Protein backbone atom coordinates (compact mmCIF):
# COMPACT_ATOMS: atom_id res chain seq x y z
CA UNK A 1 0.00 0.00 0.00
CA UNK A 2 1.34 3.41 -0.99
CA UNK A 3 1.50 6.38 1.37
CA UNK A 4 -0.52 8.27 -1.27
CA UNK A 5 -3.47 5.85 -1.10
CA UNK A 6 -5.13 7.64 1.82
CA UNK A 7 -4.89 11.20 0.48
CA UNK A 8 -8.26 12.47 -0.74
CA UNK A 9 -8.47 14.71 -3.81
CA UNK A 10 -11.36 16.51 -5.49
CA UNK A 11 -11.43 15.59 -9.21
CA UNK A 12 -13.75 17.43 -11.63
CA UNK A 13 -14.23 16.69 -15.33
CA UNK A 14 -15.89 19.71 -16.98
CA UNK A 15 -17.61 19.23 -20.32
CA UNK A 16 -18.90 22.80 -20.50
CA UNK A 17 -20.79 25.38 -18.51
CA UNK A 18 -23.73 27.74 -18.74
CA UNK A 19 -25.62 30.31 -16.71
CA UNK A 20 -29.37 29.91 -16.39
CA UNK A 21 -31.85 31.37 -13.91
CA UNK A 22 -33.05 29.07 -11.12
CA UNK A 23 -36.67 29.58 -12.24
CA UNK A 24 -35.76 28.17 -15.69
CA UNK A 25 -33.99 25.21 -14.09
CA UNK A 26 -37.03 24.47 -11.90
CA UNK A 27 -39.32 24.45 -14.95
CA UNK A 28 -37.24 21.78 -16.72
CA UNK A 29 -38.50 18.25 -16.91
CA UNK A 30 -36.87 14.94 -17.69
CA UNK A 31 -35.15 15.01 -21.08
CA UNK A 32 -34.71 18.79 -21.11
CA UNK A 33 -31.62 20.02 -22.96
CA UNK A 34 -29.26 22.57 -21.39
CA UNK A 35 -26.96 24.23 -23.95
CA UNK A 36 -23.31 24.63 -22.96
CA UNK A 37 -20.94 27.46 -23.86
CA UNK A 38 -18.72 25.14 -25.89
CA UNK A 39 -18.57 23.12 -29.08
CA UNK A 40 -18.36 19.32 -29.24
CA UNK A 41 -14.74 19.67 -30.46
CA UNK A 42 -13.66 21.80 -27.50
CA UNK A 43 -11.44 20.07 -24.94
CA UNK A 44 -12.81 18.69 -21.70
CA UNK A 45 -11.23 20.37 -18.67
CA UNK A 46 -9.74 18.33 -15.82
CA UNK A 47 -9.48 19.98 -12.41
CA UNK A 48 -7.79 18.56 -9.31
CA UNK A 49 -8.55 20.43 -6.09
CA UNK A 50 -10.01 23.31 -8.16
CA UNK A 51 -6.84 23.75 -10.24
CA UNK A 52 -6.80 23.09 -13.98
CA UNK A 53 -4.33 20.26 -14.58
CA UNK A 54 -5.20 18.84 -18.02
CA UNK A 55 -7.29 18.98 -21.17
CA UNK A 56 -8.90 15.85 -22.49
CA UNK A 57 -11.40 14.26 -24.81
CA UNK A 58 -14.42 12.15 -23.86
CA UNK A 59 -14.50 8.72 -25.52
CA UNK A 60 -17.64 6.60 -25.71
CA UNK A 61 -17.55 2.86 -26.38
CA UNK A 62 -21.04 1.41 -26.11
CA UNK A 63 -22.15 2.04 -22.53
CA UNK A 64 -18.65 2.94 -21.30
CA UNK A 65 -17.32 6.49 -21.14
CA UNK A 66 -13.69 7.37 -20.56
CA UNK A 67 -11.43 10.40 -20.69
CA UNK A 68 -8.33 10.58 -22.85
CA UNK A 69 -5.84 13.15 -21.54
CA UNK A 70 -4.64 15.16 -24.56
CA UNK A 71 -2.57 17.83 -22.80
CA UNK A 72 -1.18 18.33 -19.31
CA UNK A 73 -1.37 21.98 -18.29
CA UNK A 74 1.90 23.45 -17.06
CA UNK A 75 1.67 25.02 -13.61
CA UNK A 76 2.63 28.67 -13.29
CA UNK A 77 4.83 29.26 -10.21
Residues 34-70: pLDDT tens digits? 988 888 888 999 999 999 999 999 999 999 999 999 9
pLDDT of 77 higher than 80? no
Distance CA 46, CA 35 (A): 20
**At 67, phi and psi to the nearest 5?**
-120, 125
Return the closest-CA partner of residue 71 out of 48, 50, 45, 49. 45
Check residue 70 and give its pLDDT: 96
Residue 62 belongs to a domain: yes
Residue 1 belongs to a domain: no
Check residue 1 and give its pLDDT: 62
Check residue 75 and give its pLDDT: 82
Residue 23 belongs to a domain: yes
Return the closest-CA partner of residue 42 out of 15, 61, 69. 15
Check residue 5 and give its pLDDT: 86
Q: What is the DSSP secondary structure assignment for residue 25, as one 8-state letter?
A: H
Is residue 29 classed as helix, strand or coil in its secondary structure?
coil
Question: What CATH number does residue 45 fall under?
Answer: 2.30.330.10
Q: How many domains does the chain have?
A: 1
Q: What is the average per-residue pLDDT within 30-35? A: 91
Which structural domain, as residue segments, surrounds residue 50?
11-72
Amino acid sequence: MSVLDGIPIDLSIVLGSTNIPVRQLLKMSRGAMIPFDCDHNDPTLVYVNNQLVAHGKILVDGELMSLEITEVVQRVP
